[in-house]
Amino acid sequence: MSLKIRLARAGTKKRPFYHIVIADSRSPRDGRFIERLGFFNPLLPKDKTERLKIDLDKVKAWLAKGALPTDRVSRFLDEAGVLTREKRNNPERAIPRKERKVLKEEAVKAAAAAKVAATAKAAEAAKAAAAAS
């Protein structure tokens, strides 16, 4: 049984509120869970202490049993100092999609031009070797 520490959505439409739960990875997001470990209220400002509450002792116990936190929960645990999470770096994400598409097309064209130039150079070298012998 693969256990996950993840967020289960509660609250009403347009007013999200999340419970931090331990659940089987095959269970639905808001479905069956084993234990509730805390809550997260994204509507509150980041400086409020009521925004996030986690029972760190229970989290440590479940991590020792092999539970894996999801990305968002691992961010919370990293801030709390329970878990270290490596930084991710995706510099392409900051570039708008249309610009990324143009850059990718230019890179493909440049690679094709380089390939043509390499084959032409190889053919020229073969001609020179044939003429020399």
Does pLDDT of 132 surpass 80?
no
Please report whether residue 66 resides in a domain.
Answer: yes
Q: How many CA atoms lie within 13 A of 36 on its CB side?
A: 11
Whether residues 103 and 124 fall in one domain? yes
Domain at 54, CATH number: 3.30.1320.10
Please report whether residue 85 resides in a domain.
Answer: no
The helix (H) or strand (E) run that includes residue 23 is strand 15-24
pLDDT, tens only, 57-100: 999 999 999 999 999 999 999 988 888 888 878 877 788 889 88
Number of domains in the chain: 2
Please report whether residue 86 resides in a domain.
Answer: no
pTM over 0.75: no
pLDDT, tens only, 12-37: 999 999 999 999 988 888 888 899 99
* Strand 3-12, strand 68-69: pairing: parallel
Whether residues 97 and 73 fall in one domain? no
Whether residues 52 and 104 fall in one domain? no
Please report whether residue 70 resides in a domain.
Answer: yes
Instruction: Confirm if 58 and 35 have CB atoms less than 8 A apart.
Output: yes
Whether residues 29 and 64 fall in one domain? yes
In the three-class reduction of DSSP (H, G, I as helix; E, B as strand; rest coil), residue 43 is classed as coil
State which residues form the domain around 72: 3-80
Whether residues 74 and 108 fall in one domain? no
Please report whether residue 48 resides in a domain.
Answer: yes
Please report whether residue 20 resides in a domain.
Answer: yes
Whether residues 50 and 70 fall in one domain? yes
